[in-house]
Structure 1
Amino acid sequence: MMREEKSSTSGDQLMLFHRSIIVSYFSFIVVKLECFYIFPAQDLMTLILFYLLSYLRFLFTTSIISLS
């Protein structure tokens, strides 16, 4: 019984580790997009895209955290 519980908790920790890697990779890509494509331009559509990307990043990270 104790070995099964330990294996399930290590499996949960492994899933949480994979989810944190996915979140950090997604955040890295979005930050690269924000730095190189959105900040140099100052028109309205790119600012709307910037806020949309940051909102999507927030939703993605909160959904991953709530799944864990």
Structure 2
Amino acid sequence: MTYSQHSEERPTIAADIADQVAAYGITRVPVDYFHVGEFRYSNPEDAIAEARRQRPTEVERTSIGRPQ
């Protein structure tokens, strides 16, 4: 069973699932995810840290191995 259509800003959910969500008083909130390679983060600072680990900036590359 497919629960959402990911091409929309707010994905739709199947009618039977929506009925259960309403019946139990479950609230729905939007969530931003930040994807870095195969990883997904809800915190942008964590995503930036992973991106830096995967691909250091030019400044970081030139200072690697040099005494500070």
Q: Which has the higher helix share?
A: 1
Higher relative contact order (CA 8 A, sep 6+): 1
Tell me the TM-score normalized by structure 1.
0.28
Q: Which has the higher strand share?
A: 2
Whichever of the two has the greater Rg, that structure is 2
Tell me the TM-score normalized by structure 2.
0.28
